[in-house]
Amino acid sequence: MAVHTFAEIKELVENHNKSTKLSNESVICLIWKESGFDDASQNSKSSATGLMQMTKAAVSDVNDNTPPDLHFDYDDMTDPAKNIECGTLYLDLRIRWAKQIEKGVDAFGTGRGYSANIWKCKKCLVKDSEHYQRCLDMIHK
């Protein structure tokens, strides 16, 4: 368990992003917002854990809405690859339920407005990934 570099997160997302709705850049920004790239990150007020801060309920939702042969255990959410796979599938569920990308991403996070910094960061990364820290700092330093 560790805090990952941007390059490590980029590779993990490229290999494990299961979202059909969100770009790799959006997922990278969301991971920075949620955990600061720390796969051991845990929320003391909820069951949220790992890079994408997956809760027990979110993992259950993914398991209830994906094929039976695709199963995630909450205890595996500190595994970066499994967390990203489960988290991006959950993002797609939230987007489908909300019937709009922005509202679905807001529902993944803390509600209305959550996605605004994600989109700014994503736009910055697409335009200038060489200076990625500047983009991530749009979310938090």
Kindly report the CATH number assigned to the domain that includes residue 16. Answer: 1.10.530.10
Domain that holds residue 28: 6-61+74-136
Count CA atoms closer than 13 A to 131's CA, side-chain side.
8
- pLDDT by residue for the chain (141 residues), tens only, comes to 689 999 999 999 999 999 999 999 999 999 999 999 999 999 989 999 999 999 999 999 999 999 989 999 999 999 999 999 999 999 999 999 999 999 999 999 888 989 999 999 999 999 998 999 999 999 986
Residue 24 domain flag:
yes
Distance of CA 138 to the CA centre of its chain: 16
Report the number of distinct structural domains present in the chain: 1
Would you list the DSSP string of 36-49? TTBTT-B-TTSS-B
Given CA atoms 114, 120, 123, 125 in this order, what sign does their dihedral have?
negative
Q: Is the residue at 66 inside a domain?
A: no
Instruction: For residue 47, count CB atoms less than 10 angstroms from its CB and return exposed for 0-12, middle for 13-18, buried for 19 or more.
Output: middle
Instruction: Please check whether residue 44 lies inside any domain of the structure.
Output: yes
Please name the residue that has the structure tokens 């720390």: 38
Alpha helix positions (H), the chain: 6-16, 24-35, 56-64, 80-98, 101-108, 114-127, 132-136
Q: Is residue 37 a part of any domain in this protein? A: yes
